[in-house]
Amino acid sequence: MARMPGLPRRIVIATRFLTSRWQTVRPACNITVPMSADGNCSAAALPIYATNARVTRRREAMLVKEIMTTAVKVARPTDPVRDIATVMCFNKISGVPVVDAEHKLIGMISEKDILHAMFPTLQDVMENPTPPDFEKLEREYRDVVTLKVGDLMTTILYVADPDMPVLKAASIMFLNRIRRIPVARNGVLLGIISIGDVHKAMFRENLTHQK
């Protein structure tokens, strides 16, 4: 049967593909399919053209709110350091955010802050330049943990917004040599994100989701 007059020898089919991450439908490419003599699409050719079509996979940057930890252990400035040290040791975490009664972020306290308080200050060293007695310093720990969180917490904070790309949050941690930063909006604590969280998310996204 002859092809009907006016029919093209080839047609272009606009195809759509689902993106891997958000499952949104996006136009991906056009596939050119030969027409058979009777004016129908060549079914045998379609899989070949579809296989050879170049599909561009696009997605938005991963955001902090997608991977942050929301079940966060927190401290109050009036809490004894002993209690927070116990929380950190038993939960295997190295620091916790400090919040006020309205859950507003006001500081961070870490293992480093607690241990640093055991060492002499610069003023002490200048007044007594003799080498420190490290055995005596170990005993200082008992005195340090009787202090309040507000005495040792860090108040100069680096904070991530929940809508910040995770690699931007990671860059803040790298530049400031810290392993975790709180996530807050309008001063209210929402969660926390660590270098480990970022690495695990990158691993899952790029190595475990490959097709």
Dist CA 33 CA 137 (whole Å): 80
* Sign of CA pseudo-dihedral 196, 200, 205, 207: positive
Inter-helix orientation angle 166-176/195-207, to 10°: 140
Q: With respect to residue 4, please indicate whether it lies within any of the assigned structural domains.
A: no
pTM of the model: 0.65
Tell me how far apart the alpha carbons of residues 81 and 162 are, in angstroms, rounded to a whole number. Answer: 29
Claim to verify: residue 46 and residue 81 sit in the same structural domain: no
Q: Within this chain, do residues 27 and 101 fall inside the same structural domain, yes or no?
A: no
pLDDT in tens for each of the 211 residues of the chain? 555 555 455 544 444 444 444 444 444 444 444 555 555 555 444 444 444 444 444 468 999 999 999 999 999 999 999 999 999 999 999 999 999 999 999 999 999 999 988 876 667 666 677 777 778 878 888 899 999 999 999 998 899 999 999 999 999 999 999 999 999 999 999 999 999 999 999 999 888 765 5
- If one counts the domains in the chain, the total is 2
Rounded to whole angstroms, the Cα distance separating 91 from 44 reads 61
In a domain, 111, yes or no: yes
Is there a single domain that holds both residue 40 and residue 104?
A: no
> Do 33 and 82 belong to one domain?
no
Judge if 98 and 74 occupy the same domain: yes
Say yes or no: 111 and 155 in one domain.
yes
> Could you tell me if 41 and 6 are in contact, meaning their C-beta atoms sit under 8 angstroms apart?
no
Burial class (CB in 10 A: 0-12, 13-18, 19+), 188: exposed
What six digits make up the tokens of 165?
Answer: 């790309």
Instruction: Based on the fold, state whether residues 47 and 111 are members of the same structural domain.
Output: no
Please tell me the distance from the alpha carbon of residue 39 to that of residue 4, in angstroms, as a whole number.
7
Residue 151: give the domain boundaries.
64-207
Contact (Cβ atoms closer than 8 angstroms) between residue 33 and residue 42? yes
